[in-house]
Structure 1
Amino acid sequence: MILIGLDPGLGCTGWGMIAAEGNRLSHVANGQIRTDAKAELAVRLVDLHDRLADVLAEYRPEGAAVEEVFVNENPQSTLKLGQARGVVLLAAARSGIAVGEYAPRLVKKALVGTGAAEKAQVHAMVQRLLPGAKVAGADAADALAVAITHAHHLASNRALRGHAA
């Protein structure tokens, strides 16, 4: 199963594609979509949508996971993040992909074992779980972490359904 993890942001949205076969994970691709900070907000959102739609069309993931919004001290930053996140959810939904949503603390806990993990610890675990992956940057690493979290949750849900039958 091919899964995409998404770390939304207006300036930079990270994406990470993995293949999950049982408990085995492998890296497929990753990248970052940067928008022009000088462009109008609406233009940036359309650009984000279109470029993410291209990624989704190229790799055709069967599932998606998006990191939930955290509240910044700056309300404007939180609003822009929320708008970018809405575009990311829209792009996935328009592609017919079911979307899981995960809080940043849950992603950290799933990869490192504690919700208070530092970004460097999360990125180190991404490298360990996806050996040989060339990660495009911090936002792409975060997106891969979200994809890994989603893969683990899907596998757990399948295992629980199997035991309930």
Structure 2
Amino acid sequence: MTLRVLGIDPGLTRCGVGVVEVDATRRATLVAVTVIRSPADMPLEQRLLTIGRGIEQLVDEHRPDAMAIERVFAQNNLSTVMGTAQVSGLALRAAAERSVPVAMHTPSEVKAAVTGYGSADKAQVGAMVARLLGLAEAPKPADAADALALAICHAWRRGGVPSAPAGAGLTAAQKAWREAEKSARTPRLGR
């Protein structure tokens, strides 16, 4: 039994998308990897349309069991954060329309899952992704390797099989996020 996960490293200029299948022994196999690009001089709405359509096409083509998207907490560059958030929204919408379950993972969670070190650099992540997938070299650009790392991280956190119970393999941080999200959705009395 395998789990097919589509990972997304959201970005407005380069959106990395990687698809892996992971079996019950945690062995990961590359299905596909690409980068959806949009030119910086294109109007924002056209850039988002291009990326959104690209994500939808890949989800329809690869029919993942789950989707993993990078969660960005904070960054100094506000325009980068906005673009990342907008592209994440496109991915969430594509998943929701197709009833694909979604999880969001922080960069440090992904790095720790794939390399064993939450502060690994991009070269270390790329090298480990290549090793795990049996590739001669790391996928380029780094956005592609990051998307594959997200997919691998998610599959490993879920125990490598689609039937893993909800919440199985979650880190303490992920459990805290899940509880915070539940309480935010819980209707309050008197409202």
TM > 0.5 fold call: yes
Partner letter of residue 38 of structure 1?
A: D
Deviation string 1:136-160 (CA, Å, 9 cap, x unpaired) is: 4211100000000001011179389
Q: Does 1:51 align with 2:51?
A: no
Does residue 13 (structure 1) correspond to residue 15 (structure 2)? The answer is: yes
Moved more, 140-149 or 150-159: 150-159
Post-superposition shift, 1:43? 1.3
> Is the 8 Å Cα contact of residues 7 and 15 (structure 1) preserved in structure 2?
yes
Deviations 1:61-94 (A, max 9, x none): 1111001024221212211221111112112222
Per the alignment, in what secondary structure is the counterpart of residue 143 of structure 1?
helix
Q: Does 1:96 align with 2:132?
A: no
Partner of 2:154: 150
Number of equivalenced pairs: 161
1:71 aligns with 2:77: no
> Residues 54 and 63 from structure 1, CA distance in 2 versus in 1: closer, same or farther, beyond 3 angstroms?
same
For the pair 1:35 / 2:38, whether they are aligned, the reply is yes
Q: What is the alpha-carbon root mean square deviation over aligned residues? A: 1.9
Whose helix proportion is higher, 1 or 2? 1
User: Using the alignment, how far apart are the partners of 1:16 and 1:110 within structure 2?
Assistant: 16
Please tell me whether the aligned partners of residues 30 and 136 of structure 1 are also in contact (alpha carbons under 8 angstroms): no
3-state SS of the aligned residue for 1:71? coil
Q: What amino acid sits opposite 1:121 in the alignment?
A: Q
Letter in 1 for 2:155: A
Q: 1:133 Cα deviation (Å)?
A: 6.7
Question: Counterpart of 1:41 in structure 2: which amino acid?
Answer: L
1:140 aligned onto 2:144:
yes
Contact 1:16–1:140 (8 Å) recurs in 2: yes
Write the distance in 1 (CA, Å) between the matches of 2:71 and 2:143. 14
1:133 and 1:60, CA in 2 relative to 1: closer, same or farther beyond 3 A? farther
- Mark the runs of 5 or more structure 1 residues left unpaired by the alignment: none
Structure 2 residue runs of 5 or longer lacking an equivalent are 169-191
* In 1: Cα distance, 2:46 partner to 2:114 partner: 35
| Aligned sequence identity (%) | 38
Q: TM-score, normalised by structure 2?
A: 0.78
Report if the CA contact (8 A) 1:27-1:133 is conserved. no
Q: Quick one: higher RCO (CA 8 Å, sep 6+), 1 or 2?
A: 1
State how far apart, in whole Å, the 2-side matches of 1:8 and 1:62 are: 19
Which secondary structure does the structure 1 equivalent of 2:158 belong to? helix
The higher radius of gyration belongs to: 2
Partner of 1:84: 87
